[in-house]
Amino acid sequence: MTDRQGFRVELAPTLEQRARLGRHAGLSRVVENFCLEKVKAALEQREAEKTYGIPDADLTPVPWSAPALERLWRLEHRDRFPWFSGEGLSSRVPKEACRVRAAGFRNFFDSRSGRRKGRKVGFPGWRKRKHGSRFRYDADRARPEAARWVRMPGVGKVRTREDMSWLMGRIADGCARVIGATIREQAGRWWVSFQLEIDRTNINERRTVSAEAPACGIDVGIKTFATIVDDDGTVTEVQAPKPLKAALRKVRKAGKAVSRKRLGSSNRAKAVKRLARVHLEVAHRRADFLHKTTTILARSKRAIAVETLNVSGMVANRRLSRAISDLGFGEFFRQLEYKTRWYGSGVWAADRWFASSRLCGGCQAINRKLTLADRAWTCGCGREHDRDVNAARNLLQAMTLEQSAA
């Protein structure tokens, strides 16, 4: 059985290769804006035609799809963008840029119709340089050629800073194949992310969770990132590094340095890069913590009960938004879901309105007066509860009852 998985490594390009990567990122931005221009022009033309009384069936078609956008690019790029052919840039980048833009239009319509879950997606806007440098290759056009070398069309053979023996071995065995690659620049550093179709059967079997492993309930919070209660009564608290809070002084100092520099100056550009490096360090520390924590849980627990949080609603609270965003609750639950599927354990999510913290584990009474500041409370039946431990235990009990009933 194959699965989709990402594999990201940092590149170590030469100065010439950095320039080529930047040109391809600029090409992708130009093509995306070209596609948006064509769609908006067609929509405006349709509106004008309606005023002439032209029937809907005869109105100018809108090039929503990737093939239609790609046809327009092939027809016009020689006249409008002669530098594309002159600089020998890869033809695969415009193809993927058209697909990215078409996916944006599709997501917009699916969001409006309700087929796409989550927050409403707006109509795609113009892509600007400040939005970041990135571009894509389709299939295995960009592929690893050795443990520390990646071949990219239009760029050449680029060295990597990390070893790719794990990936090379699975490609050689036929257990994995590259189905796409995204190249992205952050804080002056370049990464390539391979999208893989991989057979993880052997990996997952070696790391399958034992049937004797405990089940647990997990309550997440701001003070204590995760309170874990096992079915044998063991309580474990996991503290988050809170990387943004730890680096807030550096972020403010770097931000002030940017604001003091003159717009458009080279010193401002250097200050912007320093600020970007601080934010990148924060993001990497958070990602490292989340990956390590979720991997340990997925490999050591046979079943995990979690709560369903309205993270976007929680972030709307201006007093807690920064602290909640710094913890990465949404990414924590997302990683738990796919890693437990890999290793043979499972995640059970409670209903969003399940009163995990307010519910007394003994008499099942609900304390409706409980506030966020109350870290411990006593029920009318006489039981004393630690807020987080009680919530995790209630989640575990609810999962056990539902599974036994099934």
In whole angstroms, what is the distance from residue 394 CA to residue 222 CA? 19
Domain count, the chain: 2
Q: How do the pLDDT tens digits run along the chain, 406 residues long?
A: 789 999 999 999 999 999 999 999 999 999 999 999 999 999 999 999 999 988 988 899 999 999 999 999 999 999 999 999 899 999 999 999 999 999 999 999 999 999 998 888 999 999 999 899 999 999 999 999 999 999 999 999 999 999 999 999 999 999 999 999 999 999 999 999 999 999 998 888 899 999 899 999 999 999 999 999 999 989 999 999 999 999 999 999 999 999 999 999 999 999 999 999 999 999 999 999 999 999 999 999 999 999 998 888 888 888 889 999 999 999 999 999 999 999 999 999 998 888 888 888 888 888 888 888 888 888 878 788 888 999 999 999 999 998 887 6
Instruction: Indicate whether 46 and 136 sit together in one domain.
Output: yes
Instruction: Indicate whether 239 and 122 sit together in one domain.
Output: no
Instruction: Indicate whether 156 and 180 sit together in one domain.
Output: yes
CB atoms within 10 A of CB 191: 17
pLDDT of residue 356: 87
Residue tagged active-site, from 219, 230, 231, 326: 219
Residue 208 located in a structural domain: no
Residue 286 located in a structural domain: yes
Residue 207 located in a structural domain: no
pLDDT of residue 366: 87
Instruction: Indicate whether 35 and 183 sit together in one domain.
Output: yes
The string of DSSP letters for 111-168 reads HHHT-S-SSPPPPP----GGG-EEEEEETTSSEEEETTEEEETTTEEEEBSS--HHHH
Residue 9 falls in which region: left (phi positive, over 0), alpha (psi -120 to 50) or beta = beta
Instruction: Indicate whether 138 and 284 sit together in one domain.
Output: no
Is residue 219 annotated as a catalytic residue, yes or no?
A: yes
**Lookup: tokens for 359:** 């519910």
Instruction: Indicate whether 175 and 223 sit together in one domain.
Output: no
Instruction: Indicate whether 101 and 153 sit together in one domain.
Output: yes
Name the domain boundary from 152, 176, 201: 201
Which amino acid type is present at position 193? S
Name the domain boundary from 178, 201, 224: 201
Residue 209 located in a structural domain: no
Residue 307 located in a structural domain: yes
Name the domain boundary from 201, 225, 257: 201
Expressed as residue numbers, the domain containing 223 is 215-405
Q: Rounded to a whole number, what is the largest CA-CA distance in the chain?
A: 81
Residue 210 located in a structural domain: no
Angle, vertex CA 188, rays to CA 187 and CA 194, nearest 5? 90
Contacts of 68 (CB under 8 A, 6+ apart): 61
Instruction: Indicate whether 291 and 168 sit together in one domain.
Output: no
Task: Output the pTM of the full model.
Answer: 0.89
Instruction: Indicate whether 375 and 235 sit together in one domain.
Output: yes
pLDDT of residue 56: 87
pLDDT of residue 66: 96
- Tell me if 310 sits within 8 A of 349, measured CB to CB: no
Handedness of CA 9, 12, 16, 22 (dihedral sign): positive
Residue 206 located in a structural domain: no
Instruction: Indicate whether 367 and 230 sit together in one domain.
Output: yes
In whole angstroms, what is the distance from residue 217 CA to residue 304 CA? 6
In whole angstroms, what is the distance from residue 185 CA to residue 187 CA? 7
Strand spans (E) along 307-396: 347-349, 376-378, 384-386
Is residue 388 annotated as a catalytic residue, yes or no?
A: yes
Residue 355 located in a structural domain: yes
Instruction: Indicate whether 248 and 134 sit together in one domain.
Output: no
Instruction: Indicate whether 186 and 296 sit together in one domain.
Output: no
Contacts of 324 (CB under 8 A, 6+ apart): 222, 311, 314, 315, 317
